[in-house]
Amino acid sequence: MTEAPVPERIHRAGRQVVITWASDHVGTYAARALRLACHCAMCREEMSGRPLLDPATVPLGIEADTISLVGSYGIKIRWSDGHDTGIYTYEYLMALCPCEECQGERMRKGEEGRGGVR
Protein backbone atom coordinates (compact mmCIF):
# COMPACT_ATOMS: atom_id res chain seq x y z
CA MET A 1 0.00 0.00 0.00
CA THR A 2 1.35 3.41 -0.89
CA GLU A 3 1.35 6.34 1.50
CA ALA A 4 -1.04 9.17 0.87
CA PRO A 5 0.70 12.25 -0.45
CA VAL A 6 1.25 15.23 1.82
CA PRO A 7 -0.98 18.09 0.68
CA GLU A 8 0.62 21.17 -0.83
CA ARG A 9 -2.02 23.44 0.74
CA ILE A 10 -5.02 23.18 3.06
CA HIS A 11 -7.38 26.07 3.65
CA ARG A 12 -10.87 26.96 4.80
CA ALA A 13 -13.35 28.44 2.35
CA GLY A 14 -16.65 29.12 4.08
CA ARG A 15 -18.45 25.82 4.48
CA GLN A 16 -15.68 23.96 2.69
CA VAL A 17 -12.18 22.69 3.35
CA VAL A 18 -10.00 22.81 0.24
CA ILE A 19 -7.01 20.48 -0.01
CA THR A 20 -4.52 20.87 -2.83
CA TRP A 21 -2.86 17.48 -3.14
CA ALA A 22 -0.93 18.44 -6.27
CA SER A 23 -1.15 21.20 -8.85
CA ASP A 24 -3.64 19.11 -10.82
CA HIS A 25 -5.47 17.49 -7.87
CA VAL A 26 -7.67 19.62 -5.63
CA GLY A 27 -10.33 18.22 -3.32
CA THR A 28 -13.07 20.55 -2.12
CA TYR A 29 -14.64 18.89 0.92
CA ALA A 30 -18.00 19.97 2.32
CA ALA A 31 -17.34 20.94 5.94
CA ARG A 32 -20.41 19.10 7.21
CA ALA A 33 -19.44 15.90 5.40
CA LEU A 34 -15.97 16.05 6.99
CA ARG A 35 -17.44 16.72 10.43
CA LEU A 36 -19.77 13.72 10.02
CA ALA A 37 -16.79 11.61 8.90
CA CYS A 38 -14.91 12.26 12.14
CA HIS A 39 -13.82 8.96 13.62
CA CYS A 40 -12.64 10.06 17.05
CA ALA A 41 -13.80 8.14 20.14
CA MET A 42 -16.64 10.62 20.70
CA CYS A 43 -17.98 10.15 17.17
CA ARG A 44 -17.34 6.43 16.51
CA GLU A 45 -17.51 3.37 18.71
CA GLU A 46 -13.93 2.20 19.13
CA MET A 47 -14.38 -1.54 18.59
CA SER A 48 -17.07 -1.65 15.90
CA GLY A 49 -16.58 1.72 14.20
CA ARG A 50 -20.33 2.27 14.53
CA PRO A 51 -21.21 5.95 14.30
CA LEU A 52 -22.11 7.56 17.64
CA LEU A 53 -22.59 11.05 16.24
CA ASP A 54 -26.21 11.88 15.47
CA PRO A 55 -26.18 13.75 12.13
CA ALA A 56 -29.15 15.82 13.32
CA THR A 57 -26.87 17.42 15.94
CA VAL A 58 -24.41 18.73 13.34
CA PRO A 59 -25.51 22.14 12.03
CA LEU A 60 -26.04 22.41 8.28
CA GLY A 61 -23.91 25.57 8.30
CA ILE A 62 -20.97 24.13 10.23
CA GLU A 63 -17.55 25.51 9.35
CA ALA A 64 -13.96 24.71 10.19
CA ASP A 65 -12.81 27.42 12.61
CA THR A 66 -9.16 26.36 12.58
CA ILE A 67 -7.07 23.70 10.88
CA SER A 68 -3.81 22.56 12.50
CA LEU A 69 -1.16 20.16 11.27
CA VAL A 70 -0.65 16.96 13.26
CA GLY A 71 2.90 15.79 12.71
CA SER A 72 3.55 14.94 9.09
CA TYR A 73 0.53 12.68 8.70
CA GLY A 74 -2.68 14.64 9.18
CA ILE A 75 -4.72 17.58 10.40
CA LYS A 76 -6.90 18.48 13.36
CA ILE A 77 -9.94 20.66 12.79
CA ARG A 78 -11.71 22.80 15.38
CA TRP A 79 -15.29 22.98 14.20
CA SER A 80 -17.76 25.81 14.75
CA ASP A 81 -19.82 23.42 16.93
CA GLY A 82 -16.87 23.25 19.35
CA HIS A 83 -15.75 19.72 18.43
CA ASP A 84 -11.98 19.36 18.05
CA THR A 85 -10.88 15.86 19.09
CA GLY A 86 -10.69 14.19 15.69
CA ILE A 87 -7.52 13.71 13.67
CA TYR A 88 -7.92 13.35 9.93
CA THR A 89 -4.93 11.51 8.47
CA TYR A 90 -3.89 12.35 4.94
CA GLU A 91 -4.62 8.74 4.00
CA TYR A 92 -8.19 9.08 5.33
CA LEU A 93 -8.69 12.45 3.63
CA MET A 94 -7.44 11.02 0.34
CA ALA A 95 -9.92 8.14 0.70
CA LEU A 96 -12.69 10.73 1.19
CA CYS A 97 -11.54 13.02 -1.63
CA PRO A 98 -14.65 14.32 -3.40
CA CYS A 99 -12.94 15.31 -6.65
CA GLU A 100 -14.34 13.83 -9.84
CA GLU A 101 -11.23 11.75 -10.54
CA CYS A 102 -11.16 10.14 -7.07
CA GLN A 103 -14.91 9.47 -7.12
CA GLY A 104 -14.54 7.80 -10.51
CA GLU A 105 -11.64 5.70 -9.25
CA ARG A 106 -13.67 4.54 -6.24
CA MET A 107 -16.58 3.63 -8.52
CA ARG A 108 -14.29 1.65 -10.83
CA LYS A 109 -12.80 -0.23 -7.89
CA GLY A 110 -16.29 -0.96 -6.58
CA GLU A 111 -17.38 -2.31 -9.96
CA GLU A 112 -14.24 -4.44 -10.21
CA GLY A 113 -15.10 -5.91 -6.82
CA ARG A 114 -18.49 -6.92 -8.23
CA GLY A 115 -17.07 -8.56 -11.34
CA GLY A 116 -16.34 -5.54 -13.48
CA VAL A 117 -18.41 -3.43 -15.83
CA ARG A 118 -20.52 -5.30 -18.38
The full set of domains in the chain, from first to last, is 9-111 (3.30.2020.30)
pLDDT for the residue 2: 56
Q: Residues 40, 92: contact at Cβ < 8 Å?
A: no
- Within the chain, which residues score under 50 in pLDDT? 1, 116-118
pLDDT for the residue 82: 97
The pTM score is 0.87
- The residue among 43, 7, 56, 44 whose CA lies nearest residue 28 is 7
pLDDT for the residue 4: 74
